[in-house]
Amino acid sequence: MDTRAVVKASSFLILTIISIPTNLLVCCAFLHNRFTEAKLLTADIIICHLAFANLMVALIRSIPQTIAALGYVNLFDDVGCKITIFSFRAFRGLSISLTCLLCVYQAVAISPATSLLAPLKTRIPQYLMYIIVFLYFLYYSTSVMTALNAVFNLFNNTIPPYTLNLEYCFVLHKDYFTYISIGFGVMSRDLVFIVLMIIMSGYILKLLYQHGQKVKSIRSSDRSQKEGRAETKASRAVVTLVILYVVFFGIDNVIWLYTMTISRVTLLISDIRDFFATLYTSVCPIVVITTNPKVQRKLKLVKMKKEAQPTESSTHTM
C-alpha cells in the first residue's frame, strides 16, 4: 500500500468507528425516549432524523472508502453503484437541510413574542412531518441524475475526462457542460440551506447576547434561570453545528470549484473532498451527545444499570 492509501484507509476508518456508534446512540436514545415517555419534542424529532441521515452517510460512503483504500475495489455492480451514489447524495443533502431546519426551529423557539418569527412557533411543530417528508422528496428526486451516470467499471480501464473516481465506482459525465451544470445545480440547492443557516445563527447569537445583557441587569427566579440556561445551551449547540457544517461545506466546495478548472481530478484531491463531505457525520453526534440532556440521561441510566449488575450477581452468589 502506498502512503495515500494508508492515510485514506486510516482516516475513513476513524470516521467510521466514531460516526456509526455515536449516531446509533443518538437515534436509540430518542427512540427509547419516544416509547417510554410517548412524546418527543420538535427539536428531538429533527435531531433523530439528522442522526439517521448521518448514520446512512457513514455506512454508504465511509465504509466503502475504507475498504477501497485497502485494495478491495470490486464492491458493487452497476446497480449497486447507482444505489450507493443515489443514497449518498440524498442523505448528505438531508444532513444539510435537517441541520438548517434545526437551526431555524431553535431561532423560532427562543424568539420573543413580538418577533416576525413568533407565528412559526406553532406552525413548525404542526407541520413538522410534512416538512421532513418534503425534504426527503427534494433530495431523493434531485439525486437521480447523478446516480444514473454511476458505473462500477470503465471501458478499457481508461478514465475519461470529467469523471468522479471513487475507485470502487465511477460517475461519468459526457461533457464539460453536463459536469458543470450538475455540480452547480447541487451546490446552488445546498447553498440556499447554508445561507439560511447562517442568517438564523446570526439571529440566535443576537438573541443570546440580548438575553445575557438582561440577565446581568435583572434578578430572575431560579426556574426562569434554569429554563434560560437550557435554551442558551441548546442554542449554542445548534450554532456550533452550523459553524462546523459551514466550514466543512466551504472546504468541500472550494475543492470542487478547483476541480472545475481541470478535466482529470487526482485521487488525492477526490479523497480530501470526500473526507470533508463525510466529516460532519462524526462531529455532529459528538456535539449532540455532549450537549443534549436527554441523551446524557440515557447514558447515565445505562451506566447505572451496568454498575448495578455486578452488585446483583455478587449478592446472588453469597
How far are the Cα atoms of 11, 59, 60, 186, 221 from residue 53, in angstroms, in the given order? 20, 10, 11, 18, 40
List, in sequence order, every residue forming a beta bridge with 171; answer none if it has no partner.
150, 164
91's torsion region: left (phi>0), alpha (psi -120 to 50) or beta? alpha
The contacts of residue 155 (CB under 8 Å, 6+ apart) are: none
- Helix runs in the chain, H state only: 3-37, 42-57, 63-69, 78-110, 120-126, 128-141, 144-148, 176-217, 222-259, 267-278, 280-291, 293-317
Q: What is the pLDDT of residue 178?
A: 85
Q: What is the pLDDT of residue 98?
A: 95
Amino acid at 298: K
CATH architecture of 3-295: Up-down Bundle (1.20)
Grid cell of 18 as nine digits: 466514531
Domain ranges of the chain: 3-295
Q: Mean pLDDT, 10 residues at a time, over the chain (318 residues)?
A: 86 94 91 79 92 94 91 88 93 94 92 87 93 94 88 80 87 86 86 92 87 63 54 83 90 84 81 90 92 81 70 52
Q: What is the pLDDT of residue 309?
A: 66
How far are the Cα atoms of 114, 209, 236, 247 from residue 202, in angstroms, in the given order? 18, 11, 11, 15
Give Cα 245 to chain centroid, integer Å: 8
Could you tell me the strand order of the sheet in which 170-172 lies?
A: 150-151, 170-172, 163-165
Q: What is the pLDDT of residue 229?
A: 65
Q: Helix (H, G, I), strand (E, B), or coil: what is residue 169?
A: coil
pTM for the structure as a whole: 0.88
List, in sequence order, every residue forming a beta bridge with 119; answer none if it has no partner.
none
Q: b/e map of 81-95 (b: 16 or more CB within 10 Å)? A: bbebbbbbbbbbbbb
Q: What is the pLDDT of residue 107?
A: 92
